[in-house]
Amino acid sequence: MKLISNHDCLPCGSTVATIGMFDGVHLGHVTLINEVKRIARERHLQSAVITFAQHPQAVLRSDSDIKMLLTTADKVAQIERHGIDVTVLLDFTLSLSRHTSRQFLQLLRDRYGVAVLVVGYDHRFGHDPNESFADYVQHGKDLGIDVLKAPEYLGEYAPVSSSIIRRLIASGKVDDAMRCMGRPYTLKGKVVHGFHNGRGIGFPTANVGEWAPELILPHKGAYAVMVQVAGQWHQGMVNVGVRPTLNNGKRLSIEVNIFDFDADIYGMDITLQFIKFLRLEFKLGSIEELRAQLTCDRETSRRILTAHQAHPCG
Over residues 124-135, the pLDDT tens digits come to: 888 777 889 999
Partners of residue 52 on adjacent β-strands: 90
Please name the residue ranges forming H helices in 45-132: 56-60, 72-81, 94-97, 101-112
User: Residue 263 CB: number of other CB atoms within 10 A?
Assistant: 9
**Once rounded to an integer, what is the mean pLDDT over residues 155-164?**
90
115 CB-near residues (< 8 Å, 6+ apart): 13, 14, 15, 16, 43, 45, 109, 144, 145, 146
Q: Residue count of the chain, please give it.
A: 314
60 CB-near residues (< 8 Å, 6+ apart): 94, 97
* Structure letter (DSSP) for residue 155: S
Cis omega (within 30 of 0) on the bond before 159?
yes
**Once rounded to an integer, what is the mean pLDDT over residues 175-195?**
93
Over residues 160-182, the pLDDT tens digits come to: 999 999 999 999 999 999 999 99
User: pLDDT exceeding 70 applies to what percent of the chain?
Assistant: 94
- CA separation for the pair 57, 37 (Å, rounded): 29
Q: What integer best gives the mean pLDDT of the chain? A: 92
At 93, the pLDDT band (50, 70, 90 cuts) reads confident
Residue 191 has pLDDT above 60, yes or no: yes
**Could you tell me which of 210, 235, 214 has the C-alpha nearest to residue 223?**
235
- Of the candidate ranges 129-143, 175-189, 235-249, the one whose mean pLDDT is the lowest: 235-249
At 246, the pLDDT band (50, 70, 90 cuts) reads low
pLDDT for the residue 286: 80
pLDDT for the residue 129: 77
pTM of the predicted structure, to 2 decimals: 0.93
Residue 200 has pLDDT above 80, yes or no: no
pLDDT for the residue 128: 79
* Structure letter (DSSP) for residue 220: S
Residue 235 burial by CB count (10 A; 0-12/13-18/19+): exposed, middle or buried?
Answer: buried
φ and ψ of 32, to 5 deg = -65, -45
At 116, the pLDDT band (50, 70, 90 cuts) reads very high
Q: Which of 159-163, 239-243, 285-289 has the highest mean pLDDT?
A: 159-163
- CA separation for the pair 192, 196 (Å, rounded): 11
